[in-house]
Structure 1
Amino acid sequence: MGTPHNGAEKGEIAKKVLMPGDPLRAKFIAETYLDEVKQFNTVRNMFGYTGKYKRQEVSVMGSGMGMPSIGIYSYELYHFYEVEAIIRIGSAGGFHDDLELMDLVIAQGACTDSRYAYQFDLPGTFAPIGDYELLSKAVSLAEAKGTKYKVGNVVSADVFYNNDDRVNDRWKSMGVLAVEMEAAALYMNAAKAGKKALAMLTISDHLFKKTALSAKDRETSFNEMMEIALDL
């Protein structure tokens, strides 16, 4: 079968897919947590793997950066590979005063400055939200592990280096917890496909406290988030 972006054959991808932005984080998860691992994709170096976690089949695949990239990969997973649930496990820049580096944000909703929703020709503004069942389970698992977390709105931005130096202040003033670049497109694709999605984000930098993790830490140190996602 395969697509222009995914070399997997039908049946090689599990019904549940964990989706970090970084394909090297997908490789790390597969090598660290999964048994009986088989790599199903190397196209464009967007690595994808299927294996067993606690005897349950699960896949992990990178999404790349930004809504156009996760939009392509999640669409193909939902529509061409019969995937039922995608759990984004990514990093985010913190806004909220109570957040610190390595805290977990579970995205109940995803604001966005993107025009990704234009394709659906809706008669108003769509509110992208995560799947409640997955969100509820993620909260229970975080509670059980003693993980510090917050649930609420994030913003999925199209621009990383924004020329408007007041944009973060305005999102923060509306109670938005953090900024990332993918969740809104994932939530819209899931809604349209009638499938499930959830974004869980580890705070890798705080845009108001001026703190940040290294690139290496971002790749390999989000263990609590990864374990919660695997247990969902």
Structure 2
Amino acid sequence: MTSNRLYHIGFGQDDLGSQPPSIALLSGDPERARLIAESYLQDVRLLSENRGLNSYLGYLPNNRPILSATSGMGAPSLSIVVNELVQVGIRQIIRIGTCGSIQPYITVGSVVISSAALCRQGAANDIAPVEYPAAADPFLTVALVNAARKLEISHYVGITASVDTFYEGQERTDSANPYLMRSLDGITEEYRRLNVLNYEMECGTLFKIAGVYQFAAAAVCGVVAQRTKSENVILEQKDTAVKNAIAVAVHAAETFV
């Protein structure tokens, strides 16, 4: 490992070789980053497992170099990883995540492609003011939509609610804390009426960072919970949802110019 490696991601620009990647697929789960690298990329090389932030360098079928990297859970960890990825030369990031649908017509196993985010995240406020738009790159988003259409994967495009907590912030009460602050009681129905599609925990901050740092960001999430019916993740369909999201992201990365 070279001496210019960055503190958190554990590698530096010199580790990326003579043909460094400009695009990264970013997963919260290190196992998802590994799955992408081992199952979808070619000539894969492990760059780092520092702090559980697994990163892999590989190549798409068209020989385009790409990173499969880990952001960790939540926006604060993502903000650190993204800052360092930009430092090593990454200029396009596709987040591959999971989410809970808050609209009755969005089914578990499908994917949501976020065009923008309702950003209720503290990390984002350190990057830009609350009023700063959290919008995905339109061209990278279209690439995701086109990929989903070509692969015939059920998909929905729209606004995502990005919040900092899995339980209270997503109005879950079946947990260690059954009591919600009054400001969160009924928030899911309010978002539903505002045509918000889903809950997740990272893309709002990612989109704000992209606007400030001037790189392209987009997000595709597999739907693993249907919040109009239950608070629970449907584990039996999680693998399908994740594989659908990965397939869409990988195809979009291959075709995006």
The alignment status of 1:74 with 2:82, answered yes or no, reads: yes
Q: CA deviation at 1:154?
A: 0.3
Match of residue 101, structure 2, among 94, 105, 109: 94
Identity over aligned residues, as a percent?
26
Q: Give the letter for the 2:141 counterpart.
A: L
- Retained in 1: the 8 A contact 2:57–2:68? yes
Whole-Å Cα distance in 2 between the matches of residues 83 and 19 of structure 1? 11
Over 3 Å counting, the alpha-carbon distance change for 1:101 and 1:120 in structure 2 is closer
The alignment status of 1:116 with 2:123, answered yes or no, reads: yes
Match of residue 61, structure 1, among 48, 66, 69: 69
Whole-Å Cα distance in 2 between the matches of residues 39 and 120 of structure 1? 30
Query: Which residue does the alignment assign to 2:142?
Result: 136
Match of residue 41, structure 2, among 34, 39, 45: 34
Query: Which residue does the alignment assign to 2:29?
Result: 22
Whole-Å Cα distance in 2 between the matches of residues 97 and 121 of structure 1? 33
Q: CA deviation at 1:118?
A: 3.0
Whole-Å Cα distance in 2 between the matches of residues 30 and 219 of structure 1? 16
Over 3 Å counting, the alpha-carbon distance change for 1:67 and 1:16 in structure 2 is same
Say how many residue pairs are matched. 229
Q: Give the letter for the 2:148 counterpart.
A: A
- Structure 2 segments unaligned to the other structure (5+ residues): 169-179, 253-257
Q: CA deviation at 1:147?
A: 1.1
Q: CA deviation at 1:29?
A: 1.0
- Retained in 1: the 8 A contact 2:110–2:244? no
Q: Give the letter for the 1:177 counterpart.
A: L
Q: Give the letter for the 1:156 counterpart.
A: S
Which moved further from structure 2: 220-229 or 165-174? Answer: 220-229
2:145 aligns to what SS in structure 1? helix
The alignment status of 1:46 with 2:53, answered yes or no, reads: yes
2:196 aligns to what SS in structure 1? coil
Whole-Å Cα distance in 1 between the matches of residues 43 and 154 of structure 2? 32
Q: Give the letter for the 2:228 counterpart.
A: F
1:222 aligns to what SS in structure 2? helix
2:81 aligns to what SS in structure 1? helix
TM-score by length of 1: 0.92
Whole-Å Cα distance in 2 between the matches of residues 120 and 212 of structure 1? 31
Query: Which residue does the alignment assign to 2:13?
Result: 10
Query: Which residue does the alignment assign to 1:166?
Result: 186
2:98 aligns to what SS in structure 1? strand
After the TM superposition, which segments of 4 or more aligned residues of structure 1 sit over 4 Å from their partners? none
- Retained in 2: the 8 A contact 1:117–1:126? no
Which moved further from structure 2: 190-199 or 12-21? Answer: 12-21
Q: CA deviation at 1:114?
A: 1.8
The CA deviation string for residues 28-79 of structure 1, in whole angstroms up to 9 with x for no partner, is 111111111111111111111011110221110111111101111011111x
TM-score by length of 2: 0.84
* Structure whose alpha-carbon radius of gyration is higher: 2
The CA deviation string for residues 158-216 of structure 1, in whole angstroms up to 9 with x for no partner, is 121112342212211211000000001111111111100001011011111226332x8
Over 3 Å counting, the alpha-carbon distance change for 1:187 and 1:121 in structure 2 is closer
The alignment status of 1:189 with 2:239, answered yes or no, reads: no
The CA deviation string for residues 71-109 of structure 1, in whole angstroms up to 9 with x for no partner, is 11011111x111010100000010011101111100000
Query: Which residue does the alignment assign to 1:157?
Result: 163
- CA RMSD of superposed structures (Å): 1.8
